[in-house]
């Protein structure tokens, strides 16, 4: 009878995971996200074109994310949507394995409760972003860790290594986990477990360092670790306090429509309370519950992924694992009815976050105007995507013109995207050589200028040289001053791309 119940819970979670995947994929063709989608696709396409990571490719988060995206893109015939498709698959798999981990430690009902909380907070994939890959490797790591077999400790460490290579800032989170994990296991004389996990972790890390050393890009890689300082500053205490203030502010202000901010605040409090109890009143934490210490450290550390940008998807794909501690305290309630009432109340409150419109936890919501979107498979990158007519007119005209310039203007060998729209970079890199590392430029942003000067210091001087030699095409908005020896082609207006133009040498204009 018990086996049948377990199977029923598994079937429910599989259905939930499948639902998340299907809705994510169903919504995705209607998305025009030229920054997030364009950035990951540009990075992946640059890697497929044998450009050198960090030196020639702007890899802001982790090389393994770009590597996997390039594989997805290759499988999907270079269509941008293929990256999102596989990201959706990965998130759905993560949901299922998360259920298995919780089920292994608690009752099946509480495991289902954890999954319901997760999908109510973040039901569908928003972006083809690194967070989902890191979450996937994190969940699989913990799943392997619970197998209590030497080879699985090794695999767990290896997966942690891949998580760090997918999101390099995750190294801090892993160190918090590893210190607590090592102390607990060394205390329990499980030295071998720590050893195998360490070996597994260091193998992908060592391979990475051998790779960057072989390609002589160590110092290029180092530069990228200064970018975060530009955005969050040097005083991390103020940054953390500001993050907590924003979390509380959003939690109180938007409680009716976005109750998950309060939920994550509660997770922070409960995890800190648990660590306090473990340190100062160990009698309340049994030996079999000591694993929750490193789970708690993973959760608290993972809040850092949203410290620069408070988004529910960032917290759901990392910090959410702290729900183990919530369930631990729920499980301590002896009265079953009370336990059920609290669990049900949390589910009801999180249901308030379900909004039938674009919202924080579903930014891809397909509106009633979806019928205005159409497909056009003329451009390989945008196959199976559905854009509005004016977006297609703009994009197809742009693609046609850069193709003509490539064919008829022999001297124009380079192209630069001087806009926020990273899709331009993706399109021009299919025809021309580029000397910009970051695939978009926001000339009005001081932070963007600082980033450019850090990773691409010779960009402006190289641009001036190639403009003088009539060698480069420039995609820009009206704020970019047209050089004396250049003219421009005005691009059709669209809602997504306003007032853009292609700058080309005057001698080239007459040929197209």
Q: Phi/psi at 69 (nearest 5 deg)?
A: -60, -35
The predicted pLDDT at position 1 comes to: 37
Across 298-325, average pLDDT: 95
Q: Is residue 156 part of a domain?
A: yes
Is there a single domain that holds both residue 327 and residue 403? no
Is there a single domain that holds both residue 399 and residue 340? no
Return the ∠ at Cα 102 (arms to 99 and 108), rounded to 5°. 80
Is there a single domain that holds both residue 493 and residue 448? yes
Nearest-Å Rg of the Cα atoms of the chain is 25
For strand 486-490 and strand 500-505, is the pairing parallel, antiparallel, or unpaired? antiparallel
Contact between 429 and 444 (Cβ < 8 Å): no
Dihedral (C-alpha) 117, 121, 124, 125: value to the nearest 10 degrees? -120
Judged by average pLDDT, the poorest of 65-79, 233-247, 438-452 is: 233-247
Q: Phi/psi at 27 (nearest 5 deg)?
A: -75, -30
Q: Is residue 28 part of a domain?
A: yes
The predicted pLDDT at position 4 comes to: 45
Is there a single domain that holds both residue 182 and residue 74? yes
The predicted pLDDT at position 368 comes to: 62
- Count of helices and strands (H, E) across the chain: 22, 6
Strand order from edge to edge, sheet including 472-477: 414-418, 472-477, 500-505, 486-490
Q: pLDDT tens-digit profile of 162-204?
A: 999 999 999 999 999 999 999 999 988 889 999 999 999 999 9
Is there a single domain that holds both residue 224 and residue 305? yes
The predicted pLDDT at position 369 comes to: 64
What CA–CA distance (Å, rounded) separates 390 from 500?
14
Is there a single domain that holds both residue 413 and residue 323? no
Please determine, for residue 2, whether its predicted confidence score (pLDDT) is greater than 50. Answer: no
Could you give the number of structural domains in the chain? 2
Which single residue is written with the structure tokens 């410290």? 307
User: Is residue 205 packed enough to be buried (19+ CB in 10 Å), middle (13-18) or exposed (0-12)?
Assistant: middle
Is there a single domain that holds both residue 230 and residue 310? yes
Write down the mean pLDDT value for the chain.
Answer: 93
Comparison of pLDDT for 370 and 294, the residue scoring more: 294
Q: Is residue 382 part of a domain?
A: no
Comparison of pLDDT for 358 and 494, the residue scoring more: 494
Q: pLDDT tens-digit profile of 115-133?
A: 999 999 999 999 999 999 9
Is there a single domain that holds both residue 344 and residue 398? no
Domain boundary among 299, 331, 351: 351
What CA–CA distance (Å, rounded) separates 348 from 487?
60
The predicted pLDDT at position 185 comes to: 92
Judged by average pLDDT, the poorest of 42-51, 83-92, 365-374, 438-447 is: 365-374
Judged by average pLDDT, the poorest of 102-111, 124-133, 221-230, 322-331 is: 221-230
Q: Which domain holds residue 64?
A: 2-351
Q: Is residue 365 part of a domain?
A: no
Is there a single domain that holds both residue 310 and residue 183? yes
In three-state secondary structure terms, 48 is helix
Is there a single domain that holds both residue 130 and residue 275? yes
Domain boundary among 335, 351, 367: 351
Q: Is residue 180 part of a domain?
A: yes
> What is this structure's pTM?
0.94
Is there a single domain that holds both residue 286 and residue 406? no
What CA–CA distance (Å, rounded) separates 76 from 82?
5
Q: Is residue 369 part of a domain?
A: no
DSSP H helices, 281-388, are 291-302, 312-316, 323-331, 336-351
Judged by average pLDDT, the poorest of 14-18, 146-150, 215-219 is: 146-150
Percent of the chain with pLDDT over 90: 83
Q: What is the 3-state secondary structure (H, E, C) of 244-270?
A: HHHHHHHHHHCCCCCCHHHHHHHHHHH
DSSP state of 53: B
Is there a single domain that holds both residue 316 and residue 270? yes
Q: Is residue 357 part of a domain?
A: no
Across 191-219, average pLDDT: 96
Across 70-88, average pLDDT: 96
Which residues lie across from 359 on neighbouring strands?
Answer: 362
Please determine, for residue 476, whether its predicted confidence score (pLDDT) is greater than 90. Answer: yes
Cα distances (angstroms) measured from residue 444 to each of 60, 371, 440, 447: 20, 35, 12, 9
Q: Is residue 253 part of a domain?
A: yes
Judged by average pLDDT, the poorest of 140-144, 231-235, 318-322, 508-512 is: 231-235
What CA–CA distance (Å, rounded) separates 287 from 83?
43
Question: Which of 65, 122, 104, 166 is CA-nearest to residue 261?
Answer: 122
Please determine, for residue 414, whether its predicted confidence score (pLDDT) is greater than 90. Answer: yes
Domain boundary among 302, 322, 351: 351
């Amino acid at each position: 009878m018990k086996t049948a119940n377990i199977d029923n819970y598994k079937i429910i979670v599989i259905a939930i995971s499948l639902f998340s995947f299907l809705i994510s994929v169903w919504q995705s063709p209607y998305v025009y996200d030229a920054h997030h989608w364009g950035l990951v696709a540009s990075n992946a396409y640059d890697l497929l074109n044998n450009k050198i990571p960090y030196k020639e490719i702007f890899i802001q988060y982790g090389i393994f994310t770009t590597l996997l995206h390039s594989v997805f893109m290759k499988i999907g015939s270079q269509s941008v949507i293929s990256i999102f498709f596989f990201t959706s698959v990965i998130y759905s798999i993560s949901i299922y394995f998360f259920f298995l981990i919780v089920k292994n430690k608690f009752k099946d009902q509480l495991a289902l409760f954890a999954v319901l909380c997760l999908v109510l907070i973040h039901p569908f994939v928003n972006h083809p972003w690194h967070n989902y890959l890191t979450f996937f490797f994190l969940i699989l790591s913990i799943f392997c860790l619970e197998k209590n077999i030497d080879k699985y400790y090794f695999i767990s460490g290896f997966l942690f290594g891949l998580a760090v290579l997918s999101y390099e800032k995750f190294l801090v989170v892993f160190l918090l986990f590893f210190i607590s994990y090592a102390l607990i296991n060394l205390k329990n004389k499980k030295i071998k477990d720590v050893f195998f996990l360490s070996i597994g972790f260091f193998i992908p890390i060592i391979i990475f360092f051998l790779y960057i050393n072989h390609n002589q890009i160590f110092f290029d890689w180092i530069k990228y670790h200064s970018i975060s300082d530009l955005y969050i500053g040097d005083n991390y205490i103020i940054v953390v306090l500001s993050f907590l203030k924003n979390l509380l502010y959003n939690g109180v202000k938007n409680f009716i429509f976005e109750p998950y901010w309060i939920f994550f605040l509660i997770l922070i409090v409960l995890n800190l309370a648990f660590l306090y109890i473990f340190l100062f009143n160990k009698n309340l934490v049994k030996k079999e519950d000591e694993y929750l210490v490193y789970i708690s450290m993973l959760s608290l550390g993972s809040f850092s992924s949203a410290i620069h940008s408070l988004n529910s998807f960032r917290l759901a794909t990392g910090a959410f694992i702290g729900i183990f501690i919530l369930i631990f305290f729920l499980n301590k309630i002896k009265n079953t009815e009370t336990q059920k009432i609290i669990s049900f109340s949390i589910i009801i409150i999180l249901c308030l976050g379900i909004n039938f419109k674009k919202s924080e936890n579903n930014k891809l919501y397909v509106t009633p105007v979806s019928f205005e979107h159409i497909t056009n498979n003329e451009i390989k990158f945008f196959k199976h995507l559905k854009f509005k007519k004016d977006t297609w007119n703009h994009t197809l005209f742009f693609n046609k013109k850069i193709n003509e310039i490539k064919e008829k203007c022999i001297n124009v060998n380079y192209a630069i995207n001087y806009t926020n729209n990273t899709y331009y970079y993706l399109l021009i890199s299919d025809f021309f050589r580029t000397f910009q590392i970051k695939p978009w430029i926001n000339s009005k942003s001081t932070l963007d200028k600082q980033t450019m000067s850090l990773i691409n210091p010779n960009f402006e001087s190289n641009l001036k040289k190639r403009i003088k030699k009539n060698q480069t095409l420039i995609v820009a908005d009206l704020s970019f001053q047209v050089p004396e020896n250049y003219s421009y082609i005005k691009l059709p207006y669209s809602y997504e791309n306003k007032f853009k133009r292609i700058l080309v040498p005057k001698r080239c204009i007459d040929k197209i």
